[in-house]
Amino acid sequence: MTTQLPPGMHIETVDEKIMTLNVGPQHPGSGHMRLIIKVDGDYIVSCDPDPGYVHRGEEKMAEYRNYIQNIPHLERPVIHDSSNILYPYCLGVEELLGIEVPERAKYIRVIAAELNRCIYILYWLAIYGIFLGHSTMFMWPAGDRELFIDLLEAMSGARVTHAYLVPGGVRNDLPSNFEERCLRQVEYFEKRLREYEAIFYQNPLLKARTEGSGILSRTDAIRLGTTGSVLRASGVDFDVRKKEPYDVYENLDFQTIVMKEGDSYARSRIPYLEMFESCRIIKDALKKMPKSGSVRTKLKPNPKGGNDEVYRRVESGRGAIGYYIVSNNRPEPYRVKISVGSFRNLICMPYLLKGEKLGNMPAVYWGLNYWPVEADR
């Protein structure tokens, strides 16, 4: 006897040999999401990512607060990369309200953004290490992250959620002797990074495990709309900092890291190599920065945006973050739409995991540079 199903629903027929695994939301290797994985023996037949467990309605919340009040809650999706997720918002609001940013503030912003990128990538790398069972690679980056957390604490007063970037510049000026302290720590960090190479990236077992797994071709990477390190690992030379330079990035000396392989190893290596470039940017910015001057343009209280809309994007640790802000002559924005790199990289997960072995799942999943909380916003 067949029962009548509600419209739009159907009974799924599966092979007896195929087992469905719910990886998450309570699983040590899932994060705040669920992957519905069907396996045939050790091979993954299909993968269905199910995000949305930490949706907090950041976009809707932004419609009830004025342009300054929006800052603290908009950085909540990625507290490890809070400067970068606020960066496009600040750029967009400055364009809407017609604010000029002081030259020194632009450099300080770039330094804060690059320090924060390093914090994010180190955290990401730590989890990548423990996902592959490499506990030393979990402890080392998690410890070295403190270097940059200390620096940003000295700049902003907070260890994690800095809320340092504001429309019109940065919240406060750098502390005294910041430059030499920053330079010293960055140089020490570069030395540590080379040790990572020896223990992790040149490890024969890691190479054997990640090289050639989860290959994303160049055309697929463009077709699926990936961004950030995933895109660059597939051989596309795209970095918002180079292609659409914002603030003072055009004056600074750095390169875009591109690899052609498109496999898990390349995806894990690109963020690591970008940390060297971040260190270069920080050192260059410290050299070129005006030594004194204002760091924040004063705003009117409760500023109103015109009848206008703006889209600005920056390169974050996970790819391009874009803010589309619409204003309609009110102190609050009419609409704030956030386009994050995490969610766009998630799309290619079913393509990459199909036909892979179950043992490759953590490497492919975390290699996508996916941050569930950011994707859910």
Partner 1 sequence: MSTIAPQFRLSRFIGSLFDLIFWVILIFSLVGLPIVFIVLFYIKLPVINGQLMTPYLAMTWMADPSRTLPIVKSFMHTTIFRVMAFPGFGFAALLAAATIFVERKFLAKMQLRVGPLYCGKIEGILQLMGDGFKLMSKEIIIPAKADKPIFWLGPLLFVGTAGAFVALIPVAPGWVVANPSVGLLAVFAVIGFFPIIAVLTAWAANSKWTFIGGLRALHQMVAFEIPLILSLLGVVILSGSLNLSQIVQSQEHFWWIAFLPIGAIVFFITILAELERIPFDLPEAESEIVAGWLTEFSGMMYGLIQLGTYLKLYAFAGLFTVLFLGGWNGPMVWPPFPQDIITQGITIGPVTAHFPGLPLFDQEMLNGTLWFVIKTVGVILLILLPRGVFPRVRIDMILHTGWYKLIGLAFINIFIALGLLYAGVLGPGGLLH
Smallest gap, in angstroms, from Cβ of residue 31 to partner 1?
A: 11
Contact stretch for partner 1 (CB under 8 A) within 131-139, 167-175, 217-225, 291-299: 131-139
Smallest gap, in angstroms, from Cβ of residue 153 to partner 1?
A: 16
Is residue 24 within the footprint of partner 1 (CB under 8 A)? no
Place of tokens 């970008």: 274
**Can you read off the two tokens belonging to residue 249?**
């990035």
CA distance 211 to 192: 24
Distinct helix (H) and strand (E) counts, the chain: 15, 8
Residues in the chain, total? 377
Smallest gap, in angstroms, from Cβ of residue 199 to partner 1?
A: 7
Which regions of the chain does DSSP assign to beta strands (E)?
Answer: 18-23, 34-40, 43-50, 165-166, 169-170, 307-316, 319-328, 335-339
Place of tokens 């069972």: 133
Among 34, 80, 134, 267, the residue binding partner 1 under the rule CB under 8 A is 134
Contact stretch for partner 1 (CB under 8 A) within 274-282, 337-345, 358-366, 368-376: 358-366
Among 101, 115, 126, 132, the residue binding partner 1 under the rule CB under 8 A is 132
Rounded (10°) angle between helices 82-97 and 103-131? 150
310: which strand partners? 325
Among 14, 139, 160, 347, the residue binding partner 1 under the rule CB under 8 A is 139
Smallest gap, in angstroms, from Cβ of residue 230 to partner 1?
A: 20
Cis bond upstream, residue 362 (ω within 30):
no
Contact stretch for partner 1 (CB under 8 A) within 3-11, 63-71, 258-266, 356-364: 356-364
Residue 336 amino acid letter: V
Q: Which helix (H) or strand (E) holds 349?
A: helix 349-353
Would you give the binding string for partner 1 spanning residues 38-77, x where CB under 8 A is met? ----x-----------------------------------
Contact stretch for partner 1 (CB under 8 A) within 24-32, 237-245, 263-271, 287-295: 24-32
Smallest gap, in angstroms, from Cβ of residue 360 to partner 1?
A: 7
CA distance 254 to 278: 8
Among 209, 242, 304, 335, the residue binding partner 1 under the rule CB under 8 A is 209
Task: Please say which residue, 136 or 217, places its beta carbon nearer to partner 1.
Answer: 136
CA distance 250 to 165: 20
Is residue 208 within the footprint of partner 1 (CB under 8 A)? yes
**Can you read off the two tokens belonging to residue 61?**
């919340």
Is residue 160 within the footprint of partner 1 (CB under 8 A)? no
Contact stretch for partner 1 (CB under 8 A) within 26-34, 173-181, 266-274, 313-321: 26-34
CA distance 228 to 238: 8
Is residue 21 within the footprint of partner 1 (CB under 8 A)? yes
Rounded (10°) angle between helices 103-131 and 135-156? 160
Task: Please say which residue, 333 or 362, places its beta carbon nearer to partner 1.
Answer: 362
Kindly tell me the sign of the dihedral angle through the C-alpha atoms of 364, 281, 106, 241: negative
Among 135, 202, 219, 329, the residue binding partner 1 under the rule CB under 8 A is 135
**Can you read off the two tokens belonging to residue 60?**
């809707």
Among 107, 140, 246, 249, the residue binding partner 1 under the rule CB under 8 A is 140
Task: Please say which residue, 203 or 294, places its beta carbon nearer to partner 1.
Answer: 203
The torsion defined by the Cα of 240, 241, 243 and 245, in degrees rounded to 10, comes to 120
Task: Please say which residue, 49 or 168, places its beta carbon nearer to partner 1.
Answer: 49
Contact stretch for partner 1 (CB under 8 A) within 76-84, 129-137, 230-238, 313-321: 129-137
The residues binding partner 1 (CB under 8 A) are 19, 21, 27-29, 42, 129-140, 143, 199-200, 203, 205-206, 208-209, 357-362
